[in-house]
Structures are given as structure tokens and as C-alpha cells.
């Protein structure tokens, strides 16, 4: 969507007085360019049940107690160890919570476009966009760190992993778009 920002701004300017026509023109533009503006929402809906399941598993104390009477005599009794790098992921972990917040900050930094510049003439839309940008970039990581600390180290670990994969995906997509852009520019010459 960032690549088509100039076209979208022209459409918004062209239909600035007719919001209904503006919305229709933007949706037509998305359809023409095969852009799905809601594509980023689906992964969030997939993650919600995972976070809820992690919460219930680790809130109840982690792995269930093993009934040793059910084991064969030659099978050693397993001793579950819920430590990762010396941190018990069943308990609250300040270190993992801070790492979750930092990872979320970098995820927002890579995934979000730069904040719209402050203009000399105040605009509600521009001010709202700047406010939302600041909240997503700074408040969301603090909130994620708080939630990660409040629940358990396992949820914090999930948030860290999810953010790192999202950052990697963003970097790969940007590289492939840059290669495609450079290839198109070289072909035009």
C-alpha cells in the first residue's frame, strides 16, 4: 500500500468533498491493483486463540502431573523442566516482558510507515493519524510488555517469537519489492 500512497492521496484529494464517492474510488483502486486492505487482520484472529490457550495452560500450572503407575517399568519418569535460558516460563518474567515490549516496538517501527508530517494548518485527520501512529509505536509495546508480565513467561515468549517472525517477514517483503522495483527500472532503461 505504501507503493501506491501517491495515487491514494490523489484520489482522496479529488473526492475530498464527497466521502462516499471517495470510499468507492479507493475500493475500486484496491480492486484494480489487487490490494487487500484487510489482509493484516487475519493473522490477529489466528493469534487470539493461541494466546488464550497459552494462558489457560500455564495459568493452571503448566504440564499435568504424571501418573507414574501408568508407565512401563523400563520407562524413566519424565521430569518436566519449564526453564528456558534459566527463566521459568511458568512464572511472570520481567526480562521476557521487556523483551516482548522491545520486539513489539521494532515490529511497529518496521511495519508502520513514517508518521505524517506536522502541517502548518491544523487538520483533524492529520492530527488523528499522527496520534494513532504514536500510540501504535510507543503505547502498544508498553501494553504488550505489561500483558506479557501479567500473564506468564510463556505468553511473553510467544509475543517475542511472533514479533521476530513479523519483522523478518517485513524485511523479506521489502527486499523483494525493492528487487522488483529495481528490475522494473532497469528494464525501462
Q: Quick: pLDDT tens for 119-151.
A: 666 666 666 666 777 777 788 888 889 988 888
Q: What is the pLDDT of residue 101?
A: 92
The reply to whether 184 falls in a domain is yes
Reported as a pLDDT band with limits 50, 70 and 90, residue 100 is: very high
Most confident of 25-34, 37-46, 161-170: 161-170
Contact 112, 133 (CB under 8 A): yes
- Confidence at residue 187, expressed as pLDDT on a 0 to 100 scale: 55
Task: Say what the pLDDT of residue 33 is.
Answer: 80
Report if residue 99 sits inside a domain.
Answer: yes
pLDDT at 99: 92
Residue 31 domain-assigned (yes or no): no
CB 123 within 8 A of CB 184: no
pLDDT of residue 66: 73
Which residue in this structure is represented by grid cell 473526492? 15
Q: What is the mean pLDDT of residues 83-110?
A: 85
Structural domain contains residue 96? yes
Phi, psi of 84 (to 5 degrees): -130, 115
Count: domains in the chain = 1
Q: Is residue 35 part of a domain?
A: no
User: What pLDDT is recorded for position 103?
Assistant: 93
Using CA atoms of 82, 148, 50, 135 in order, give the dihedral in degrees to the nearest 10.
Answer: -160
Q: Evaluate whether 152 touches 89 at the Cβ level (below 8 Å).
A: yes
CA dist 126 and 124 (Å) reads 6
Nearest to 12 by CA among 25, 2, 1, 3: 25
User: Mean pLDDT over residues 65-86, rounded?
Assistant: 78
Regarding predicted confidence, which is higher, 55 or 170? 170
Please give the residue range of the domain that contains residue 121: 83-188
pTM, rounded to two decimals? 0.59
The reply to whether 11 falls in a domain is no
**What does the mean pLDDT of the chain come to?**
77
Q: Are 93 and 156 in contact (CB under 8 A)?
A: yes
Return d(Cα 144, Cα 168) in angstroms, integer. 19
In a domain, 75, yes or no: no
Mean pLDDT of 94-118: 82
Q: What is the pLDDT of residue 98?
A: 93
Which pLDDT value is given to residue 162?
87
Amino acid at each position: 500500500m505504501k507503493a501506491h500512497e501517491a495515487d491514494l492521496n490523489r484520489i482522496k484529494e479529488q473526492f475530498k468533498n464527497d466521502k462516499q464517492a471517495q470510499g468507492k474510488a479507493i475500493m475500486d483502486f484496491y480492486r484494480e491493483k489487487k490490494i487487500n486492505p484487510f489482509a493484516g487482520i487475519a493473522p490477529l484472529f489466528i493469534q487470539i486463540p493461541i494466546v488464550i490457550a497459552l494462558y489457560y495452560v500455564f495459568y493452571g500450572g503448566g504440564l499435568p502431573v504424571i501418573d507414574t503407575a501408568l508407565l512401563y517399568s523400563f520407562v524413566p519418569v519424565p521430569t518436566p523442566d519449564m526453564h528456558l535460558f534459566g527463566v521459568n516460563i511458568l512464572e511472570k518474567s520481567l526480562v521476557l516482558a521487556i523483551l516482548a515490549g522491545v520486539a513489539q516496538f521494532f515490529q511497529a517501527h518496521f511495519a508502520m510507515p513514517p508518521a505524517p508530517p506536522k502541517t502548518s494548518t491544523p487538520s483533524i485527520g492529520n492530527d488523528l493519524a499522527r496520534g494513532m501512529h504514536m500510540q501504535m509505536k510507543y503505547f502498544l509495546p508498553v501494553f504488550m510488555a505489561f500483558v506479557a508480565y501479567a500473564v506468564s513467561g510463556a505468553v511473553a515468549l510467544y509475543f517475542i517469537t511472533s514479533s521476530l517472525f513479523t519483522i523478518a517477514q517485513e524485511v523479506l517483503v521489502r527486499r523483494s519489492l525493492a528487487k522488483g522495483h529495481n528490475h522494473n527500472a532497469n528494464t525501462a532503461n
